[in-house]
Structure 1
Amino acid sequence: MPPLAIRAYTATSALGRGLQAHADALAASRGGLAPNDFSFAPLACWIGRVAGVEDAPLPPELTEWDCRNNRLAWMALQQDGFADAVRATRERYGAHRVAVLLGTSTASIGATEEGYRRLDNGNMPADLHRPVLHTPHSLAGFVAAAFELEGPCLTVATACSSSAKVFANAERMIRLGLIDAAVVGGTDTLCDSVLFGFNSLELVSPEPCRPFDARRNGISIGEAAGFAIVERIAGVADAPLLIGYGEASDAHHMSTPHPEGLGAELALRDALERAGIEPADVDYINLHGTASQKNDEVEAALVARTFPASTRASSTKGFTGHTLGAAGILEAAITLLAMRDGRVPANLGATQPDPLCGPQMAWHEESKPIRIALSNSFGFGGNNACLAFAHAEHAA
């Protein structure tokens, strides 16, 4: 596929606000997980919580959209000059030629939970009687309204692959001539439905998660927001590139990947073919690596049988926790930072490597030029996505 430029990008997570906070934490191998202090009855686990969301209401003109999820999105949109970049993109192409394509798995469900806790004679309390909140489309609607964008506005909710798949949606819309640029990304915030839901599946670890460790015992849930602007490379100098993507759905099980990783491998092969590259061309892979038994088992075997030892690979969920619908964009941003800084992130949390892991695994931070990188995002139901990125020089 013709490469697309990533004109701007940003992220907020438990590691901090903005790209530099993430780069500093990754360089120091400093994680952001902490004992759970969220919800009315906190579970005994660790979470990746973003500080200050409760104290950052939206501007008065956006009050009808106010909730934790949209607050976190707004925080991220105000960093790294991203809001100005969105406005400049709107001016360059026109409001109707810029799409808003965002992924989320829970949207503003936290506000809906609060409303049901405080029902007033069976009705939503007055302060939460705002229909725009209680819908899976709340996030994308909010961002489009905040920046007065009039192009296609789409919510992707495919669990943990949501905010990776939006890059694929952007490429198709640009290639078909429907738009000239897209704001892509996603946001997911902590809420009881997620914490207790994953706990009921016996997937939440009582300690910080340990991706690809032989003794791993579950995930740590986090929250994050991230965004990027994707457009044709003409007129965009020295920007990192989206050179390929792959998507697949194995539909093997509601919450367990195919035991041979067939869906994940289809997505990976699709991304490599679309990018026109071979496994040996890949310098780094940001793995999905949730620290659940099955995901890490399948992904470790896939990487070990596909890539040479020179390819480096690691999961960064030990830094941030699993941010669910925001994982795709957060880890895409981390992958782009790894390329920018020539630094492979550590696989934080693992001290006893799973024997299925091959020599590709980077257990500790490494300095290495990264020209081409992949980012894996695998969701429940076997809904898989893989993104391929490259330096601007790759286009030549």
Structure 2
Amino acid sequence: MAPLPILAFTATTALGRGVEAQKTALIGRRSGLQPNAFGPDDADGAPLRCWTGRVEGLEDAALPTQWAQWECRNNRLAWMALQQDALLDQLQALVDRHGADRIAIVVGTSTSSIGASEEAYRGLVPGNDGTPAFPPGLARPIVHTVHSLGDFVQQATGLRGPCITVATACSSSAKVFAQASRLIDAGIVDAALVGGVDTLCGSVLYGFNSLQLVSREPCRPFDARRDGLSLGEAGGFALLERAGAGEAMGLGLHGYGESSDAHHMSSPHPQGLGARMAMSDALARAGIEAEAVGYLNLHGTATPANDSIEAAAVAGLFPDSLHASSTKGWTGHTLGAAGIVESVFALLALRDGHLPGILNSSQPDDACGPQIRFDDATSSIRYAMNNSFGFGGNNCSLVFART
């Protein structure tokens, strides 16, 4: 594929708001995980015992009144993330160059604003016909749909091109890059605002806990003692534009690979078939060999099965010299936002030469190859990759490069 310039990128996570907050925490090896204080309470009247990557300040960050129809935690985080790193200013420059109808919105999410739906069901009131109904303040259909995020971003930015919400579980906001690339290549649009947002709620915490995937301690990706993930929330965005249309920042999307092995609803393929297919296709589209990649941000959830299978797929494709790591010890697993957040981390590695290691992990797993690095490194690299794998075998790998 032809390289697709990236004009800007931003992320807001438990590490803070904007790129500099992410960079500072990564370099300082400061985790954003904290003991969970997020409801609803469990049967004992206490929050679920686990660690979460919670974004500070959302409770006090109501949407502007003109967008009250979209009010919910997830859209609050979307608005907060959009305001960082002068992204909206650069988006306006894109609008001036191409027009609002020639810029697509492609965003990913896993649960969208389901937290508002939970609140509505907890607060059911008698309706006009006597049957249960949502309370008046939550009788807003747009927040009870997965497209709530895309619809809100479209309203908040004023863009009038195609507006797409991708919901493929934890690969959602990685797949947005591939979708945007196809839209631009087809000539449907000249540029795209891509990103993803997911927030903590009961369905997330108790859903993953019911699958016995949540650790009671901060997650330890690829550690021999790992016993589950830590959940987080995050939002992030990037601006893509067709080559030659404007002045880029020297970074670009050079390849993507997608697969759907459909092995199991919640377990990865035991031989990592889908993961390897996605990585191989991304390398092929980028026109590079595996040896060219300097850094790989792994999906690395810290569940026993995911990490060993991903590590085996990586070892079967990449040389021992690869620096590969999971950054979920910093942010937690941010679900549908993981793709955009960890793509930002890969872009930072390209831009600044700081290659993160893995937090909380110290005991190597013999099942994982030498590509898995616990310690940070510094190196000027040309190519970086990001893996994002979702339930049902929805996988996506991305190749970014300095141009």
Interval containing the TM-score (normalised by the shorter chain): over 0.9
Q: Which residue of 2 aligns with 1:44?
A: 49
Aligned AA (1:90): V
- Is 1:102 matched with 2:102? no
Superposition map of 1:58-97 within 5 A: 58-97=63-102
3-state DSSP of counterpart to 1:187? strand
- Is 1:271 matched with 2:282? yes
Q: Which residue of 2 aligns with 1:257?
A: 268
Report the CA distance between 1:247 and its aligned residue: 0.1
Contact kept? 1:76, 1:226, Cα under 8 Å: yes
2:159 counterpart (149, 157, 166): 149
Q: Which sections of structure 2, spanning at least 5 residues, go unmatched?
A: 42-46, 127-131
Contact kept? 2:15, 2:22, Cα under 8 Å: yes
Q: Which residue of 1 aligns with 2:129?
A: none
Superposition map of 1:214-363 within 5 A: 214-234=224-244, 235-363=246-374
Contact kept? 1:103, 1:162, Cα under 8 Å: yes
Q: Which sections of structure 1, spanning at least 5 residues, go unmatched?
A: none
Q: Which residue of 1 aligns with 2:201?
A: 191
Aligned equivalents of 2:16 and 2:314: distance in 1? 30
Report the CA distance between 1:92 and its aligned residue: 1.3
Aligned equivalents of 2:197 and 2:296: distance in 1? 22
Q: TM-score, normalised by structure 2?
A: 0.96
Contact kept? 2:276, 2:317, Cα under 8 Å: no
Report the CA distance between 1:358 and its aligned residue: 1.7
3-state DSSP of counterpart to 1:166? helix
Q: Which residue of 2 aligns with 1:111?
A: 116
Identity %: 61
Contact kept? 1:288, 1:377, Cα under 8 Å: yes
Aligned equivalents of 1:58 and 1:280: distance in 2? 46
What's the CA shift string for 1:332-352, capped at 9, x where partnerless? 001111111101101111111
3-state DSSP of counterpart to 1:283? strand
RMSD, matched Cα: 0.8
Q: Which residue of 2 aligns with 1:180?
A: 190
Aligned equivalents of 2:208 and 2:75: distance in 1? 23
Report the CA distance between 1:40 and its aligned residue: 2.5
3-state DSSP of counterpart to 2:266? coil
Q: Which residue of 2 aligns with 1:377?
A: 388
Report the CA distance between 1:302 and its aligned residue: 1.2
What's the CA shift string for 1:66-104, capped at 9, x where partnerless? 110000010000000011112221221111110110000
3-state DSSP of counterpart to 2:26? helix
Aligned AA (1:35): P
- Deviating beyond 2 angstroms after TM superposition, the runs of 4 or more aligned structure 1 residues are 235-239
Report the CA distance between 1:293 and its aligned residue: 1.1
Aligned AA (2:173): S
Q: Which residue of 2 aligns with 1:22?
A: 22
Aligned equivalents of 2:27 and 2:160: distance in 1? 39
Aligned equivalents of 2:248 and 2:238: distance in 1? 16
Aligned AA (1:27): I
Aligned AA (1:154): I
- Is 1:132 matched with 2:142? yes
Contact kept? 2:296, 2:384, Cα under 8 Å: yes
Aligned AA (2:257): G
Aligned equivalents of 1:151 and 1:74: distance in 2? 19
Aligned equivalents of 2:93 and 2:263: distance in 1? 44
Report the CA distance between 1:152 and its aligned residue: 0.5
Aligned equivalents of 1:107 and 1:354: distance in 2? 35
Aligned AA (1:125): P
Aligned equivalents of 1:173 and 1:347: distance in 2? 35
Report the CA distance between 1:242 and its aligned residue: 0.2
Aligned equivalents of 2:325 and 2:285: distance in 1? 23
Q: Select between 347-356 and 370-379 the one with higher mean Cα deviation.
A: 347-356
Q: Which residue of 2 aligns with 1:170?
A: 180
Q: Select between 185-194 and 124-133 the one with higher mean Cα deviation.
A: 124-133
Contact kept? 2:106, 2:195, Cα under 8 Å: yes
Aligned AA (2:166): V
Aligned AA (2:380): P
Aligned equivalents of 2:375 and 2:60: distance in 1? 36
Aligned equivalents of 1:279 and 1:168: distance in 2? 20
Aligned AA (1:216): R
1:53 counterpart (52, 58, 62): 58
- Is 1:366 matched with 2:364? no
3-state DSSP of counterpart to 2:143? coil
Report the CA distance between 1:329 and its aligned residue: 0.2
Report the CA distance between 1:237 and its aligned residue: 3.5
Report the CA distance between 1:32 and its aligned residue: 0.6
What's the CA shift string for 1:186-221, capped at 9, x where partnerless? 000000001000000000000000000111000000
Contact kept? 1:344, 1:362, Cα under 8 Å: no
Contact kept? 2:33, 2:51, Cα under 8 Å: yes
